[in-house]
Amino acid sequence: MSAEYKDYGFPDEAPSHMHKHFMPEVLNFLPKGSGLRILDIGCGNGYLCGRLLELGHEVVGIDLSEQGVAIARKSYPQARFEVLGAITDVLETLGEMPFDVVVSTEVIEHLYAPRSFVDGCLGALRPGGRLILTTPYHGYLKNLVLSLTNHWDRHANPLWDGGHIKLWSRATLTSLLLERGFHGAQFKGAGRLPWMWMTMVMCADK
């Protein structure tokens, strides 16, 4: 059996409903200064890449969505965008030097093999480089509220083709990052009230 990718269907260059929640913390986790080389894995329509360009960084974005990449290329011609799924040996595939930062927003919850994904992120970074990830937050209180209000079917809807298949907590994502060779993991919750966060932002260094 194989899983067929279903294009997200980006209508335009506008931000998603999640960008307003995770964007401030993603930018706060960037190393100081301009001119960073940044790889955005799962760049979608390129909206985050556009904000990074405004800050003076050099950006490469990759995504499985041909529609998203086409929008990104049109909206931000000064960056490089490629249709690419597997990130094993991504530097060789792209013909790029190692990056200062790899960022990936709202992607890891969709993946069957997150260890391979994180290994690919590690391989794309220079020594001392930083990985920044966002993913929907899960923890005891939020999970309890979802159970008590009978909202699990809506929250993790199994009828959503291409939807969320991994539900991450701070502990599980930290464990994954440390296991695969990262260190110095940091965490920020974003959106809604503390411990009921909509998403979380984590960074760790190579």
More confident residue, 203 or 13: 203
Q: What is the mean pLDDT of residues 5-11?
A: 77
Q: What is the mean pLDDT of residues 20-44?
A: 96
pLDDT, the chain, mean = 93
- pLDDT for residue 3 is more than 80: no
Band (193; pLDDT cuts 50, 70, 90): confident
Query: What are the C-alpha distances in Å from 195 to residues 16, 113, 159, 170?
Result: 23, 27, 27, 11
Position 184 scores a pLDDT of 98
Position 145 scores a pLDDT of 86
Task: Give the tens place of pLDDT for each residue, 65-122.
Answer: 999 999 999 999 999 999 997 888 999 999 999 999 999 999 999 999 999 999 999 9
Query: What are the C-alpha distances in Å from 52 to residues 10, 69, 70?
Result: 20, 16, 18
Question: Does residue 104 contact residue 41 with C-beta atoms inside 8 Å?
Answer: yes
Task: Give the tens place of pLDDT for each residue, 127-147.
Answer: 999 999 999 999 898 888 889
The full set of domains in the chain, from first to last, is: 33-205 (3.40.50.150)
The set of long-range contacts for 195-198, using a CB threshold of 8 Å and a minimum separation of 24, is 195/139, 195/141, 195/142, 196/141, 196/142, 196/145, 197/137, 197/142, 198/18, 198/21, 198/136, 198/137
Q: What is the rounded CA–CA span in Å between residue 32 and residue 45? A: 25
In degrees, to the nearest 5, what angle opens at C-alpha 173 toward C-alphas 189 and 177? 120
pTM of the model: 0.93
CA 56 remoteness from chain centre: 20
More confident residue, 163 or 184: 184
Position 1 scores a pLDDT of 34
- pLDDT for residue 203 is more than 60: yes
Position 5 scores a pLDDT of 66
- pLDDT for residue 159 is more than 90: no
Question: Does residue 128 contact residue 66 with C-beta atoms inside 8 Å?
Answer: no
